[in-house]
Amino acid sequence: MKNKKSLMLPSAFFALFIMTAAAQEKKPWSFHAEIDVFLGLKAGAEYRVSDFFGVRGSLGACLISPLMTTYTLVGVWHLRERTSPLQLNFEAGLIQGIFNVLEPMIDIDPAINWASAYWVPGGAASIGYRTRGGHIFSLRAGGGVIFGYDINTWQGPTFQPNIAIEYDFKP
């Protein structure tokens, strides 16, 4: 039973990757992946509402504690043309979300026997380079206000930096 629960997050991550990769044929969709300063590895998709605005969502796991789920849901303002080699973006929304409900259920670490969740609404700017093949490599920096529920009490609010390396693919 414990092995089935520990496979849920990697399976969801893989399914999200396959669904977004399959959606590449549709014009407004692009694949997105990122790794942040807290070693949260996420994959997801962006839907372009217009040439200069999109909605991006991603889901993943923290490499430090793989049972912690991390996610992002932001609006993205693209300040440069889609085909420009220099990419400048501004992102605002839920720039970081973390929850841990699997660790208490699986009980790998007996010291952690409670669920936790954190949210970081805020903003960030990114600068990147687009290759001719549609690959975009970017560096994102910004921050927000973190608050959450952990150790059976509410935490925050405090300032939380947000730094990440991003990869996007749109053919």
- Based on the structure, what is the number of domains in the chain? 1
Query: Cα separation of 102 and 69, whole Å?
Result: 9
Cis peptide bond upstream of 104, omega within 30: no
pLDDT digits (tens, 9 = 90+) for 111-135: 666 778 999 999 999 999 999 999 9
Predicted local distance difference test score (pLDDT) of residue 49: 94
22 compared with 128, residue with greater pLDDT: 128
60 compared with 110, residue with greater pLDDT: 60
pTM, two decimal places? 0.77
CATH number of the domain encompassing residue 49: 2.40.160.20
Share of the chain above pLDDT 70, in %: 80
Q: Buried b vs exposed e over 70-84: b needs ≥16 C-beta within 10 Å?
A: bbbebebebeeeeee
pLDDT bracket for residue 24 (50, 70, 90)? very low
Range of the domain at 122: 2-169
